[in-house]
Amino acid sequence: MLLMTTKRAVAAIALTLLVAGAGATLAAASDAEVTIKDFDFQPMAVTVPVGSTVTWKNLDGEPHTVTSADGVFRSGALDQGDSYSFRFTRPGVYAYLCSIHPRMTAKVTVK
Ligand SMILES: [Cu+2]
């Protein structure tokens, strides 16, 4: 009898944590979009909460890449109309560039 009560209590706590965790994730994530146009990332700096997905879309006729300076993410060449998404699961400042045109630099800040 005591064992059953304990099991129920543990299950109730686990369920509560699961629901609270899911709610927190939904409330915190805020996805962002970056446009690649005229050889620039627009905007050049975005700030998102942990768990958010950033999507880049190339509008130029030239191919571009989204390449993290420290190797965290790398899109490969994006042709006109192509997009690339990355979900940020850790806080930090992520500098990135276009590996084809290295003067194209920008950053994502994850808090
Ligand atoms: Cu480029």
How is the chain split into domains, by residue range?
1-29, 31-110
Helices (H) and strands (E) in the chain, counts: 1, 8
Q: Could you tell me the distance, in angstroms and rounded to a whole number, from the CA of residue 81 to the centre of ligand 1?
A: 14
CA of 108 to the centre of ligand 1 (A): 17
- Three-state secondary structure call for residue 107: strand
Side chain identity at residue 110, one-letter code: V
pLDDT tens string 12-58: 444 444 444 444 444 478 999 999 999 999 999 999 999 999 999 99
Distance from the CA of 109 to the center of ligand 1, in angstroms? 21
Q: Tell me the CA–centroid distance for residue 18 and ligand 1, in Å.
A: 42
**Ligand 1 centre distance from Cα of residue 46 (Å):** 19
Structure confidence at residue 75 (pLDDT): 98
Cα–Cα distances in angstroms (integers) from residue 17 to residues 13, 70, 95, 98, in the given order: 6, 34, 34, 41
CATH superfamily membership of 31-110: Cupredoxins -  blue copper proteins (2.60.40.420)
pLDDT of residue 29: 84
Q: What is the pTM of this model?
A: 0.75
